[in-house]
Structure 1
Amino acid sequence: MALRRTELKQFKWGEMNSHQWVDTTIPTNIHLDLLAAGRIPDPFVGMNEKDVQWVHDKDWIYSCEFPGTPQDGQYADLVFEGLDTYAVVKLNGIEILKSENMFIPYRVPIAHILKPMNHLEIQFMSAIRVGKEMEKKSGKMICWNGHSSRIYTRKAQYHYGWDWGPSLVTCGPWKPISLEQYNTRIARFDIHYELSKDFRTATIKFEVELAGDTKDRKVVVSIITPKGEEIGLITVHSNVLLLQITKISNPELWYPHTHGNQPLWPMTVTVTSTVDDTIQDTVTKRIGFRRIELIQTPIPKGSKFKFDEGNTFYFTCNEIPIFMGGSNWIPGDNFLPRMTPTRYESWIDLVVRGNQSMLRVWGGGIYEDDAFYEQCDKRGVLVWQDFLFACGQYSGASSLLDSVSNEAIANINRLKWHPSLAIMAGNNEDYQVASEALHHDMTSPEDTWLSSTFPARYIYEKLLPNLVKRYAPGLIYWPGSPWGGEDNNTDRTVGDIHVWNVSSGLLVPYQRYPDLVGRFVSEFGMLSCPHIETVKTFFGDSKDFHPQSQEMEFHCRATSQEKRVFTTISEQFRFSSFDLESFIYLTQLLQSEAMGWAFRGWRRAFEGRECGGALVWQTNDSWPVTSWAIIDHFQRPKPAYYTIARALTPLAIGIVRTRIDKPKWNDIHEALCNSKSDAGLKGVNNHSSPHVYPLRRSSFAVWIANATTKKRVCTIEVRYIDIATGKRVRYFKMEQVEAKPTGTTEVCVFECPEDSPTVLAARLVDEDGRLIAREMDWPQPLKHITFPHRGLQVIQTGEELMIRTEKPVKGLVFLNDGVQWSDNCLDVAPDDEQRVTAQGLTGDVKYRFYGQDDK
């Protein structure tokens, strides 16, 4: 008999000790069920979150009835893919499982208690209450963000609230539950492969383990090419199959979408009976052949941009060095059962259209759904996967270590074969907790770690790397993010860093992002409001549509957000009005400008491998909120999304002014930008102006970033344009410029004539005469410039826009909702017509640009 899988979907739920039952369909959680039953308001709307906090204090029950009498000699299991979090499971009144970890799947044999009709009951205890009890027993430990009891629970940490998300500590059967009945099943199907140095041969090792009745069984492994041709068929009569295929010649290789195709090879194992040839079970995995390496070699002396010491930190795929431009992924919803395969597909499509090559799955969320990794495999997006620890002082208790081991093994085995998985890292920012709050001595010997104030160091540097090595040999492991260097989290010359001294901390002007370069910047970002249609959900029934309303503040969880946002905006831009839409626009322009300076500057530093990548915080939101996301909760891209996409095109041009005369900089900013780390800067003089004001004497530099493996021969045009009149002041044209592959090419440096405020407009034309990239550099800060009478024309023909202007235009943003823009947030120069497609545009196009109300 073939394995029969019956997903149990129809359940009832109710409060513990209550006799009121409500129907539901799983996967689900208690907030979704209460919402569907009309017992709570939508926590995402207005300030309703405050009115649903009672939910996490209660215990809840889910139950169902299902048929399932087994046949003689047949096995039966209940498979729980995910229970959130503290759960006791009873079948026909008998306790069969106790769960204390949201991230561990469970398989429970039940044939001995299965009946013609069965009653399944799952009791979910309050994670808040259990966590608080554990905290009271063990003593309070350091916790940044959310309820302090979260660090005692193996549950998605963001459920407890974060500086971008609500506190909605939910529970329930958040993943499917199935009854599996079988004679024989495939318990394990592992695929390990090695590529020869020249990539001409793939050596594959299969491991298959069977469960149930293994007598008289035949195991068949088939290999299908991406074109659908079967090239391997292996038959073995064995319970455990271990064999190698040594001759797959010239396999098609898998690449990130920025560098090639994503051929996937279906590999199927089938178990049949040798008695009657019936299929017992079958499993298919789709792998991609690629070699991912993390390169950490000494930086050559004479570094061009910053610090000729320390080591590189960059990735290669199939020996191609790749600047990993991308973003940090958080869970796409506070209520995870709502994350469907369709939603994942549309999210990854946005990532690909944004030219991003890597997503970092952040350690305060979850090991993502299979659909997420499948889309990354299919679309060519590399994944940095954190283990699930974030911003806390986690325990080293033996019970936690056992739970973490089981969690890690289950998820390493689930994820390791995905070609998109590039690296696994131990935690998010826990080493910062250790150094800044615990003052942990990083030179302490290993045998003291568990008894120190930072016992989780044992998890990150011993337990997890050993499990990765054992279960996924060859997979890159990194102890944490950030991590590296003597202080393990702030040294910019080694490992990865998080840069948070621009939008917070010291509030360094964003024009200095390039100076804050690290070997790999795995977090940085700038707050901004989402789309106006998303902002409207903030208000609920309120009509106080003002940037400083209580509802606006409620939907921004960043500490001191007004101080940060208003300070940063006022340093850079002019408040011409203070209505809601104008405020939204300025926050988005601020984010866009900051991300442009960061990505262009750090990609420039890839030439000497001084910066191996930049992952902006963050891709997405888990609810409607003002945050660092570049795409809001309803998948409406912010202007920064388009700015980053332009900075990450395979062939891009950069242009920036550089000081010739040294101004009197704010001392603390200068010290920060010229030091190896941001540690030890307290007390530095902070009295001079923080602004970035170019002097009359400055130069400009032009460079080309080329991500491809081929040399490109290009033409560069540079125009100086008077901002007030739109007249061209000076013009340069450089032909036959060679852009070296997989790096950046410094083209020229010229002194700027600045008798009047000018914008520098650069264009890049390829070998075939096609205009492929633009960039404009503006005098800083923009608040010192006025923009009256631009002569802007946006000519609409169906779903195509033609944009032209008489004078330079800054930050042209198209506002229509429900439109897929080919580009947005544009700088427009005279005599340089731009065209934008607007898929789904109906009616007149709506837009605004910086300074459009200037008189």
Structure 2
Amino acid sequence: MKTTTLDGIWSLSPLDTGATLPYTRFFHRQPSVLCTIPGDIHSSLIEAGIISDPYWGTDELHMQWVGTCGWRVAREFPISPEDLKGCRAMLTLTMVDTVVEVVVNGTVIGSCSNQFRRWRFDCTDALVAGTNSIELLFTSAEKAALAESYKLPYPIPYSEYPVSSPHRNLIRKSQCHSGWDWGPCLLAMGVYESITLQFVELGQVDSVVTATTRNETGWHVHIDIAFLAHKKGSLEISATVGDGAATSSVSVSKGSNHWSLDMDVKEVEPWMPVGYGNPHLYPLVVQIGGLTIERKLGFRTVQIVTDDDVAGPGGMTFSVNGRRIFCKGANWIPLDAFPSRMQSQRYKQLLQDAVEANMNMIRVWGGGLYEHDSFYTTCDEKGLLVWQDCMFSCAMYPSTEEFLSTVEAELRYQIPRLQDHPSIVLWCGNNEDYGAIGWYEQSRTHRDRYVVDYDRLNEGTVGRIVRELDPNRPWWPSSPSAGPGTFSDNWHDDAQGDMHYWSVWHEGKPFESYYDVVPRFASEFGYQSFPSVSGVSEYAPEEQWNLTSPIMEHHQKNPRGNTIILENFTRYFRFPNGFANMLYLSQVQQALAMKMAIEYWRTQRPRCMGTLYWQLNDNWPVASWSSIEYSGKWKLLHYAAKRFYAPILPILYKKDGEVHVHVVNDTDTAIDCRISVKIRRFDGTKLSQQVFLPHVQGESDCPVTSYSINSLAVQPQEAYMHVKLSTKDLFIENSLFLAEPKQCVLHDPDISVEIGKTHDGFVVTLACRAPAFAVALDAGKIRGIFNDNMFDLRPTASRTVRFRTKEECPVEFFAKHLTITDLYSSSK
């Protein structure tokens, strides 16, 4: 079988030049521009200079016309006479976004209408020996969605955002392309994976999937092969993995064929998530006639434990190879609003950033896409667990036969495509769809109608197909929910299942409200911040560096976002001085909110066994809940996460007039440690010290001591508490203000700085005269990562920080752009 890719340079032109004239006269003068496939149409227009980058300023508003127009992408390709002899020519397209007619040599050979499906068309009769042409005719997804809305017997409501495209829930494309409360409305169009033309003699492989199960001697591997044949024949099939092998001779019938291979494998190590062992992977080689398929397998079991001897029923604990995992991580949104910019290296870097912050789980959120292979392969290699939502979010959806049919086809492609990845440990039906029934007037008024629609889609289609195709992997009906067989949205219920706790952000409750709930698994909660100064410079000129300027407000997609951030400044902090300090303090505030929630919930194990904050990344430069800016620069939250997600951690929290001291230990090894608890004045004077020598069991929380704030020999606003955990190999610190920072009389720390050069970056040594809090180092636009940041500094101990650069620059340049900010200086 010969395979040709049609990747490369195509031509791009509007279907109707007149429709583009109000926005550009370019196509009136020139019929087309070059376009790269795989890629998206917006990116090609930007590269040709026809539109500006909509990430800059408010240019997003002026680019909406692109998504409302139809487009033609075309090219020519050669076919030799030998290619057509005795073969069928099969054209395969995946990640086609979204409504596209496929034309070969003037003949329509098929059409696409779902970004998440694989499309295969027989174009044999349309091809000729010599030069051939192919056209992809894109219809506006917005117009297609509007046309679908006219067919509805009753409204199907959905969440809308400041800049939004209507009826996004009626079209099977990335839902966030239509705008979200952190992302732009840019209705991307294009083909985001390779287009292949295969000349097939006998048939094509539809899927190869494996199931691994433990047996007495190791593991049993069962391989299912689905093959679509154009004629009868026979094949030799075989597979090898580890020390196992299997072969078979099979007869081929015209149409669908299903074959299987079985083998036992003994000499393999199990795949374990990062922090709990090694993510061992083994090459699997499957031979189907002359076709070789290769991938890597991880041997592991997974289940969700819902009943715990200590925590009781209703839990949500992931167990991998029999070991219960405390899941620590964040939610993942699409890497970029423009699919052309979703490069493999960016995937690898972001996921490495997650690992470096001591995360072990990523949730692929349901308003984006079933990710590219490089995402899942990287998670396999790094030992990151993946919570995989199906692609439905914050809306009602139709339950018509046509809609359910395309969803079924989508899942029958995506589940076999993904299920061999050991990193994926959960299929979840949707994001917040069941809870959303209570959001809209239509669904509240006619609740039964929308519950039936929900059930037909989520249980009757999505859940049914997941359980049929992948029975060995847990199914979870919705996030949040109480689990299979229940209809509970868990917005304000922490008794069972996973919980989305948004009362602090959306309802304006204080950060201490995180102490009022103990989710069994907190799969969404978050707090916003602004990007750094260098992040803001990616979308706003300096004259717009004011939080209420048009551009700054445009790059805040949550309608009350800036107001909430500023209101909490006044609740907890002294108001910052100047624009840069406002950005800094917003990141300190965000990190504090997540630190309070996560550290407290970690002390509540085994009742709480997972925290995934919202969100890891941004898909354009914006104020958001992310811990990593669009550029890849770590916010202060990500540095804080590296600390509060550490496997072993001393924790201080203040609740009901008492300060509680705990040690959490996620490892499987008990530790004997020294815990030093000190109370210091803000000038550094030590008021008291107590030492404890707890024995901390593995995979546990250990309460150490508690203090009544009223019994302390100092006013809360005059001092802070510092805890230090030490063993032979560990030295870990944490601290706690006993009153709101705004009430505390901080001293000028007078931080001194020394900078040196290393082989991979720079070293910065900091010292102070008085305690410095929330010390933040920022290298401006110099790309790189500090090994530590967002820390407290004591006069008795200098701190040395390394900055690993991603580009060469002289020490003088680094010193010029390095800024150091702390809580005291931010309000001066």
What is the CA–CA distance in structure 2 between the aligned matches of 1:627 and 1:853, rounded to whole Å? 21
Q: Aligned with 2:199: secondary structure?
A: strand
- Quick check: 1:127 aligned with 2:100? no
Q: Which moved more, 1:17-26 or 1:77-86?
A: 17-26
Gaps of 5+ in 1: 273-279, 304-308, 661-698
Task: Map 1:522-561 onto structure 2 (within 5 A).
Answer: 522-540=523-541, 543-561=543-561
Kept in 2: contact 1:761–1:777 (CA 8 A): yes
What is the CA–CA distance in structure 1 between the aligned matches of 2:277 and 2:6, rounded to whole Å? 38
What is the CA–CA distance in structure 2 between the aligned matches of 1:566 and 1:853, rounded to whole Å? 14
1:743 is matched with 700
TM-score (norm 2): 0.90
Q: Aligned with 2:583: secondary structure?
A: helix
What is the CA–CA distance in structure 1 between the aligned matches of 2:724 and 2:769, rounded to whole Å? 18
Corresponding residue to 1:462 among 460, 463, 471: 460
How far residue 237 of structure 1 moved from its aligned partner, in angstroms, is 4.3
CA distance change for structure 1 residues 852 and 786 in 2, over 3 Å: closer, same or farther? Answer: farther
Q: Which moved more, 1:10-19 or 1:206-215?
A: 206-215
Kept in 2: contact 1:530–1:638 (CA 8 A): yes
1:825 is matched with 790
What is the CA–CA distance in structure 2 between the aligned matches of 1:781 and 1:553, rounded to whole Å? 28
What is the CA–CA distance in structure 2 between the aligned matches of 1:565 and 1:772, rounded to whole Å? 34
Kept in 2: contact 1:535–1:624 (CA 8 A): yes
1:12 is matched with 11
What is the CA–CA distance in structure 1 between the aligned matches of 2:549 and 2:56, rounded to whole Å? 15
Kept in 2: contact 1:328–1:618 (CA 8 A): yes
Kept in 2: contact 1:396–1:455 (CA 8 A): yes
2:496 is matched with 494
Gaps of 5+ in 2: 18-29
Task: Map 1:631-646 onto structure 2 (within 5 A).
Answer: 631-646=628-643
Letter of the 2:692 counterpart: M
How far residue 63 of structure 1 moved from its aligned partner, in angstroms, is 1.0
Q: Which moved more, 1:414-423 or 1:827-836?
A: 827-836
2:187 is matched with 169
1:385 is matched with 388
CA distance change for structure 1 residues 190 and 853 in 2, over 3 Å: closer, same or farther? Answer: closer
Letter of the 2:685 counterpart: K
Q: Aligned with 2:96: secondary structure?
A: coil
How far residue 9 of structure 1 moved from its aligned partner, in angstroms, is 2.3
What is the CA–CA distance in structure 2 between the aligned matches of 1:185 and 1:340, rounded to whole Å? 32
Kept in 2: contact 1:320–1:742 (CA 8 A): no
Q: Give CA deviations for 1:172-207 in whole Å, capped at 9, x if unaligned.
A: 223221111233455145343343378x51011112
1:109 is matched with 122
TM-score (norm 1): 0.88
- Quick check: 1:709 aligned with 2:668? yes
How far residue 250 of structure 1 moved from its aligned partner, in angstroms, is 5.0
Kept in 2: contact 1:8–1:179 (CA 8 A): no
Kept in 1: contact 2:497–2:521 (CA 8 A): yes
2:686 is matched with 728
Task: Map 1:620-639 onto structure 2 (within 5 A).
Answer: 620-639=617-636
CA distance change for structure 1 residues 854 and 629 in 2, over 3 Å: closer, same or farther? Answer: closer
1:679 is matched with none
2:21 is matched with none
What is the CA–CA distance in structure 2 between the aligned matches of 1:461 and 1:365, rounded to whole Å? 21
What is the CA–CA distance in structure 2 between the aligned matches of 1:124 and 1:95, rounded to whole Å? 13
Letter of the 1:258 counterpart: G
1:694 is matched with none
2:736 is matched with 777
Q: Give CA deviations for 1:267-289 in whole Å, capped at 9, x if unaligned.
A: 111234xxxxxxx2111121101
Kept in 2: contact 1:142–1:148 (CA 8 A): no
How far residue 547 of structure 1 moved from its aligned partner, in angstroms, is 2.2
- Quick check: 1:846 aligned with 2:811? no
How far residue 378 of structure 1 moved from its aligned partner, in angstroms, is 0.7
Q: Give CA deviations for 1:824-846 in whole Å, capped at 9, x if unaligned.
A: 11122343443322112843242
Kept in 2: contact 1:412–1:468 (CA 8 A): yes
- The number of equivalent residue pairs is 782
What is the CA–CA distance in structure 2 between the aligned matches of 1:649 and 1:114, rounded to whole Å? 60
Q: Which moved more, 1:649-658 or 1:749-758?
A: 749-758
How far residue 214 of structure 1 moved from its aligned partner, in angstroms, is 6.0
How far residue 215 of structure 1 moved from its aligned partner, in angstroms, is 2.8
Q: Aligned with 1:388: secondary structure?
A: coil
Kept in 1: contact 2:581–2:826 (CA 8 A): no
Kept in 1: contact 2:547–2:562 (CA 8 A): no
Task: Map 1:612-627 onto structure 2 (within 5 A).
Answer: 612-627=609-624
1:762 is matched with 723
Q: Aligned with 1:401: secondary structure?
A: helix
How far residue 299 of structure 1 moved from its aligned partner, in angstroms, is 7.0
Q: Aligned with 1:163: secondary structure?
A: coil
Letter of the 2:218 counterpart: T
- Quick check: 1:202 aligned with 2:227? no
What is the CA–CA distance in structure 2 between the aligned matches of 1:194 and 1:715, rounded to whole Å? 44
1:399 is matched with 402
Task: Map 1:266-305 onto structure 2 (within 5 A).
Answer: 266-272=283-289, 280-297=290-307, 300=310
Task: Map 1:243-642 onto structure 2 (within 5 A).
Answer: 243=260, 245-272=262-289, 280-297=290-307, 300=310, 311-437=314-440, 451-452=449-450, 455-484=453-482, 487-490=488-491, 491-505=493-507, 507-540=508-541, 543-577=543-577, 579-606=578-605, 609-642=606-639
Letter of the 1:97 counterpart: G
CA distance change for structure 1 residues 470 and 438 in 2, over 3 Å: closer, same or farther? Answer: farther
CA distance change for structure 1 residues 126 and 473 in 2, over 3 Å: closer, same or farther? Answer: same
How far residue 439 of structure 1 moved from its aligned partner, in angstroms, is 8.8
Q: Give CA deviations for 1:390-416 in whole Å, capped at 9, x if unaligned.
A: 111111111100011111111111111
Kept in 2: contact 1:295–1:315 (CA 8 A): yes
What is the CA–CA distance in structure 2 between the aligned matches of 1:704 and 1:414, rounded to whole Å? 42
What is the CA–CA distance in structure 2 between the aligned matches of 1:53 and 1:854, rounded to whole Å? 41
Q: Aligned with 2:568: secondary structure?
A: helix
What is the CA–CA distance in structure 1 between the aligned matches of 2:509 and 2:379, rounded to whole Å? 35
How far residue 320 of structure 1 moved from its aligned partner, in angstroms, is 1.5
Task: Map 1:68-217 onto structure 2 (within 5 A).
Answer: 68-69=79-80, 70-116=83-129, 117-138=131-152, 139-145=154-160, 146-184=164-202, 187-196=205-214, 201-210=218-227, 211-212=229-230, 215-217=233-235
2:755 is matched with 796
Letter of the 1:161 counterpart: G
CA distance change for structure 1 residues 524 and 266 in 2, over 3 Å: closer, same or farther? Answer: same
Q: Aligned with 2:336: secondary structure?
A: coil
1:807 is matched with 770
Over aligned residue pairs, what C-alpha RMSD do you find?
2.3
1:670 is matched with none
Q: Give CA deviations for 1:697-751 in whole Å, capped at 9, x if unaligned.
A: xx3221111111111221211111111x21111112223x221111211122234
Q: Aligned with 1:731: secondary structure?
A: strand
2:55 is matched with 44
Kept in 2: contact 1:313–1:496 (CA 8 A): yes
Q: Aligned with 1:852: secondary structure?
A: helix
Letter of the 2:820 counterpart: Y
How far residue 486 of structure 1 moved from its aligned partner, in angstroms, is 6.2
Letter of the 1:84 counterpart: D
Q: Determine what percentage of the aligned residue pairs are the same residue.
A: 26
Q: Aligned with 1:537: secondary structure?
A: coil
Kept in 1: contact 2:43–2:338 (CA 8 A): yes
Letter of the 1:267 counterpart: L
Kept in 2: contact 1:761–1:829 (CA 8 A): no
Q: Give CA deviations for 1:467-526 in whole Å, capped at 9, x if unaligned.
A: 011111211111111112664332210111111111221x11113313232111111111
What is the CA–CA distance in structure 2 between the aligned matches of 1:454 and 1:711, rounded to whole Å? 51
Q: Aligned with 2:109: secondary structure?
A: strand
What is the CA–CA distance in structure 2 between the aligned matches of 1:248 and 1:731, rounded to whole Å? 57
2:39 is matched with 28
Letter of the 1:163 counterpart: D
Letter of the 1:282 counterpart: T
How far residue 134 of structure 1 moved from its aligned partner, in angstroms, is 1.7
How far residue 169 of structure 1 moved from its aligned partner, in angstroms, is 1.1
